[in-house]
Structure 1
Amino acid sequence: MSQAIEETEEVSTPGKMSLPTLTAMVVGSMVGAGVFSLPARFGVATGILGSLIAWAIAGVGMLMLAFVFQNLAIRKPQLDSGVFIYAKAGFGDYAGFNSAIGFWASTIAGNVFYWVFIGATLGAFFGGFGDGDTVLAIGVASVVIWIFHYLIARGVRDAAVINRIVTVLKLIPILVFIVVLLIAFDAGVFADNWLAYGYGELGGLSDQVRNTMIITTFVFIGIEGATVYSRYAKKREDVGRATVLGFLSVLSIFALVTLASYSVMPQPEIAGTRQPSMVGLFASVVGDWGEIFISVGVIISVLGAYLAWTLMAAEVMYVPARSEDFPRFLGRENAHGAPITALVVTSLAVQGMLALTLVVEDALNFMLDLSTSLALIPYFLAAAYALKLGLTGESYDGVPDRVRRRETIFAGAATAYTLFLFEAAGLKFLILAAVILAPATILYIKARSERGRRIFTPTEIVLLVLIVAGGVIGIAGLLTGSIVL
């Protein structure tokens, strides 16, 4: 009876997303190209023990972040598009603006990574695509970018439904990969891969774990998928539930993909497998048909993730414009209710950054690392805001002390984890993030000027100086060659 009522409500509530749809947005946002690159990315860095420790650290850290988004949805239900609004509520307008730009730029770099990854997949069958960074690969990707632009412009709700369907389709080859490789389990290979010390110098266990942190973080980007779409949720509490459910599902899949890979092939061979490495591993077990099977899965998965990420990118420009934090022109909608100006800017940015792959030395890994580094900005600020709420007691009136303590511990752990990831990312990508944030401040100044509001507070001027200084250092490093793309 209750299920029938829920289905009726979903049909009668246009533009609203149920718990399964929100969960699919989270899973669809996280399960993209990253999972198909896991075997080789782990293989070059560590053995089984190191991978288990890395997944444990990443799992706990990102689970704490998932709890942060869940708890913030409960404590601050009036705040929509949480990726940027939490930073604004906790640390001021300019911090919120940088959080939104950081997330938006992260999705742009991530979407470029997706197109390079598709090109590399096709390169195994058509030489002209190379490793995804050739003129042909970029030309084909450019055409598809604008096809997706047209699709999304027809309405966010329609695209979200398509994403739910694609999420189911792209999970099939991944699950088949896991099952087949575990059936082909080789105990001897698995034992040799436990530490992988006999295969060369991977560094100490702590180095091995550290070297996997960026990839483990990248594959979890999208954990905030339900939070970004909180204004479309039928029930506010479904936002937090979808975040945790989606995260736990994806963590299980990612860890099993890694362990299954170590069970059929020695670590040095895994490390040398051409990306997307899941393709080569599966083909080594089942034969040539496996290469086609997983490659089709890669393309479906990546296109689905591109759809989800583009939706989120446009939303994170549109909502701040509506709340007077971005210029008015970014808040325009078309006849289908899609944030059309924000979508155009997003598509143009993907197109422009895609062209950069012609001059980037290792486009695939560069875009992955850049996307991850930029995503750390909104993640850190959201976690820090949740910690601030817990420490000050704001929004905890009438809430038992044990609940407040638990949520404060979760927020503190998430804040510490994101700080650790900044260190793991390295100074290069922090400086490159400043190169993006510094000129983007022009949008903030325009937005404030349009509304006749004070542009910067004294504290925000200090933050501006730091960002601009980082941007200047980054540009100088690029011009002198001390920073290599």
Structure 2
Amino acid sequence: MPSSSPQTKFSAWTLMGIVVGSMVGAGIFSLPQAFGRATGPLGAVIAWTIAGVGMLMVAFVFQTLSERRPDLDAGIYAYAKEGFGNYAGFLSALGYWSAALLGNVSYFVLIKSTLGLFFPIFGDGNTVVAVATSSCLLWAMHWLILQGIRQAAALNAVVTAAKLIPIMVFIILVLLAFKWEAFSGGFWGEGDRTVTAIANQVRSTMLVTVFVFVGIEGASVYSRYAMKRSDVGIATVGGFLIVLGLMLAVTLLSYGILSPGELGQLRNPSMAGVLAAAVGPWGAVFVSVGLIISVAGAYLAWVLLAAEILYSASKYETMPRFLSRENSKGVPANALWLTNILVQLFLILTLFTQYAFTLAVAMTSSMILIPYFFVAAYGVKLSWSRRATRQFPGHAEFMQSLLALIYTSGLIYAAGAKHLLLTTLLYCPGTVLFSLARREQGERVFNHWEKAAFGLLFLSAAVTIFEIANGRISI
């Protein structure tokens, strides 16, 4: 990518557009079904409260680190490396990049699933025709981005504004059709009215809430483009609050139209089914058009983020050098090619997966947990060291980082063994890139602790393959 010259500087509004554009994609359109299948309004309020507070703490950590360590660009990767070493930084970059890949796959699947509402040949987004059409869109977008990063960022800002309109219209129309008796009738969800049952309901929504907030770090990833360093924090927190309000409204208002059981039976994009129930069949068409605009914009934002993280990691000598090579337009072309070739591969693999969208969402959320955990842990480490050297301005930064660390640790637990084991199938072979980078520098690949960490990853990946072969883990 081009150097951070004045011509390539982004304002706070542009950075906020990247944050909002990254978060508002496929996830928000599937919220009614995802929450209806898991819980009722009570569980949804508790889940969003936990997720809102937890992710707000993560946003505060990004804001604080952007101010305390302005020398570290592409934050989500650089913080892990600075705090915990080269391999931790690599795993953070690889996890973030993999989440971007899988998120982009889910976007394509959802677009085709949406078209499947009207054209059965697309099915649930995983038919041969759906994959072929997605592939054409993938490479058309690839060509667009190769023409220049600034043009792509400007287009992202326009699309972000355009895709918020149908979501706002949905909220207004559903609010007008809201029925209190439907909302109160399913208040406790479909399960028992016990604390344990509600706790289980809330836990089952945690990966969904992670998925819809992925992208909160967008401004931090592009911190080297910021006009002012403080703009990174403003864009992160401001973008998060906007998206949280939209997520809450879409989730809770849907319970006033259909019961949790009915919401859980909707096909995705489930917002289409909710609006159709509220205003008639045209509502499904309206939401479907809005989704296609939204997902196209989210894909653009995410492929930019994916290429940027590979480029930055290569510049920091944690990824192989070929990933930092740019074309004549200043775009990291090699990073973009590698990203989209793998997206293409995963699109082909969706032909063999019955629930392609659900699996892509769960895997995206699981892969992003390690990078978020490292950011929160570095926040704790930095604020504690500043406190010990009397540079700490108060207890707020430490407590925010600690709460973010507790929240991200809880998410790793909530992800469950299956999805965490599946992530090792990406982390373990992906370490080849780390090995290549270290050998390019003439350095030893692992130190003592890193060798132990890789050994654990390798063992976990072997167990995962064995469990899949024996049918105990399904994909």
TM-score (norm 1): 0.95
The AA in structure 2 aligned to 1:328 is: R
In the alignment, is the contact (CA less than 8 A) between 2:101 and 2:306 conserved in 1?
yes
Which residue pairs with 2:188 in the alignment?
A: 195
Contact 2:190–2:261 (CA under 8 A) maintained in structure 1: no
Superposed CA deviations along residues 101-156 of structure 1, whole A, max 9, x for unmatched, are: 00000111111111110011000010000000111100000000001101111111
1:438 to 411, 424, 428: 428
Supply the AA of the counterpart residue of 1:438: C
1:4-15 aligned within 5 A:
13-15=6-8
Residues of 1 paired with 2:60 and 2:389: CA distance? 16
How does 1:385-396 map onto structure 2 within 5 Å? 385-393=378-386
**AA in 2 matched with 1:324:** E
Residue 407 of structure 1 is matched in structure 2 by: 397
Does residue 1:330 correspond to 2:308, yes or no? no
- Structure 1 counterpart of 2:201: 208
Amino acid in the other structure paired with 1:227 = S
1:452 aligns with 2:445: no
Distance in 2, Cα, partners of 1:393 & 1:399: 5
Matched, 1:64 2:57: yes
Which residue type is aligned with residue 327 of structure 2?
Answer: N
- Kindly indicate whether the alpha-carbon contact (under 8 Å) linking 2:41 and 2:188 is maintained by their aligned counterparts in 1: yes
Q: What does 1:123-138 align with in structure 2 at a 5 Å threshold?
A: 123-138=116-131
Distance verdict in 2 for CA 1:406–1:200, change over 3 Å: closer
* Structure 2 residue identity aligned to 1:226: A
Question: CA, structure 1 residues 37+475, in 2 after alignment: closer, same or farther (shift >3 Å)?
Answer: same
Q: What corresponds to 2:78 in structure 1?
A: 85
Q: Which residue is equivalent to 2:148? A: 155
Distance 1:26 1:396 in 2: 34
Deviations 1:319-348 (A, max 9, x none): 111121111111100011001000000000
> Offset at 1:27?
0.2
Cα deviation, 1:143-200, whole Å, max 9, x if unaligned, reads 0000110111111111111111100100011111111111111121111021134899
Aligned equivalents of 1:407, 1:296: Cα separation in 2:
42
What is the deviation of 1:464?
1.0
State the alpha-carbon separation in 1 of the partners of residues 249 and 290 from structure 2. 17
1:94 aligns with 2:87: yes
- Asked if the contact 1:75/1:395 (under 8 Å) is kept, the reply is no
Q: 2:353 and 2:457 mapped to 1: Cα distance?
A: 24
* Separation in 2, partners of 1:287, 1:197: 26
**SS of residue paired to 1:204:** helix
Structure 1 residue 26, shift from structure 2 partner: 0.2
Counterpart for residue 462 of structure 2: 472
Give RMSD over aligned pairs: 1.7
Q: Which of 277, 288, 304 is the equivalent residue of 1:284? A: 277
Distance 1:198 1:146, change over 3 A: closer
Secondary structure of 1:14's aligned partner: helix
- Secondary structure of the 2:439 match is helix
CA distance in 2, matches of 1:332, 1:150: 17
Letter in 2 for 1:295: S
Which runs of structure 2 are paired with 1:215-234 in the superposition (5 Å)?
215-234=208-227
**Residues of 2 paired with 1:202 and 1:357: CA distance?**
38
CA contact (8 A) 1:46 1:202 kept: no
Conserved 8 A contact 1:76-1:395: no
Report the CA distance between 1:100 and its aligned residue: 0.3
Q: Partners of 1:198 and 1:46 in 2: how far apart? A: 8
Identity %: 49
Letter in 1 for 2:204: N
CA distance in structure 1 between the aligned counterparts of 2:284 and 2:448, rounded to whole angstroms: 58
Q: Distance in 1 between matches of 2:272 and 2:405?
A: 36
Which structure 1 segments of 5+ residues have no match? 1-11
Q: Deviations over 1:51-99 (max 9, x none)?
A: 0000000000000000111111011100000111100000000110010
Q: Match for 1:378 among 371, 377, 382?
A: 371
Contact persistence 2:191–2:197 (CA under 8 A): no
Task: Sort the Cα spacing of 1:394 and 1:330 in 2 relative to 1 into closer, same or farther, 3 A.
Answer: farther
Deviation at 1:293, TM superposition (A): 1.0
- Which one-letter code corresponds to 1:331 in the other structure? S
Q: Does 1:114 align with 2:107?
A: yes
Normalization by structure 2: what TM-score?
0.97
| Counterpart Cα distance in 1 of 2:6 and 2:283 | 43
Query: Who is 1:461 aligned against?
Result: 451
Q: Which residue of 2 aligns with 1:3?
A: none
1:262 equivalent in alignment to 2:252: no
CA distance in 2 between partners of 1:344 and 1:195 (Å): 48
Q: Which residue of 1 aligns with 2:472?
A: 482
